[in-house]
């Protein structure tokens, strides 16, 4: 008998949990991102605006998504995002789940790109900023795979 091996479950759609950082009360960006994710055939749990890190982690543990996406429009994402990454990546069940952030991460315009290495170091698997953010995010979505299940070979 061969060892069980992980493989994607073709019957399950990819799942995403979508949120903003706790100080971001904007919602239209979340609606846009939900539609973009659904267009890419994700099942989306949109937690809405002003979500604290603990709530995001709790819902992600319930949903077991294939992607966790944070959005920032007001420029506070760069200041608040590390706390989200640390909490999410500290959960063994979520540690391998891709965690990404995008939008207006700071208030310094083009200089906000300087936040990217800091956010990657904090635990984010992708950071999308600037004029090419949406196109780069769409390409990233093509690489997100459903969690694997263990089945006998």
Span 104-140, pLDDT tens digits: 887 766 667 778 899 999 999 999 998 899 999 999 9
Tokens 């002003």 -> residue: 50
Query: What pLDDT shows up at residue 73?
Result: 85
Query: What pLDDT shows up at residue 115?
Result: 84
Q: What is the pLDDT of residues 85-107, one digit of tens each?
A: 999 999 999 999 999 999 888 77
* pLDDT range class, residue 150, cuts 50, 70, 90: very low
> Residues 77, 101, 39, 151: is their CA dihedral positive or negative?
negative
Across 64-85, average pLDDT:
89
For residues 96 and 123, the answer to whether their CB atoms sit within 8 Å is no
Q: How many CB atoms lie within 10 A of CB 123?
A: 17
Query: Which residue, among 91, 69, 65, 81, has the nearest Cα to 122 in the 3D structure?
Result: 81
What pTM was estimated for this model as a whole?
Answer: 0.86
Q: What is the pLDDT of residues 36-50, one digit of tens each?
A: 999 999 999 999 999
Query: What pLDDT shows up at residue 110?
Result: 66
* Collapsed DSSP state (helix, strand, coil) of residue 6: strand
C-alpha to C-alpha distance for 119 and 123, rounded to whole angstroms: 7
């Amino acid at each position: 008998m061969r060892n069980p091996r992980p493989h994607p479950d073709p019957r399950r759609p990819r799942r995403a949990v979508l949120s903003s950082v706790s100080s971001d009360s904007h919602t239209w960006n979340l609606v846009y991102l939900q539609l973009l994710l659904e267009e890419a055939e994700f099942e989306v749990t949109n937690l809405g605006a002003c979500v604290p890190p603990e709530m995001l982690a709790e819902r992600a543990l319930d949903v077991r998504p294939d992607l966790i996406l944070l959005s920032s429009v007001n420029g506070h994402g760069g200041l608040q995002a590390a706390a989200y990454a640390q909490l999410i990546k500290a959960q063994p069940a979520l540690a391998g789940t891709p965690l990404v952030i995008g939008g207006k991460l700071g208030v310094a315009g083009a200089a906000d790109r300087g936040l990217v290495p800091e956010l990657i170091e904090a635990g984010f698997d992708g950071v999308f900023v600037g004029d090419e953010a949406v196109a780069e995010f769409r390409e990233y979505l093509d690489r997100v795979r459903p969690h694997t299940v263990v089945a006998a070979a």
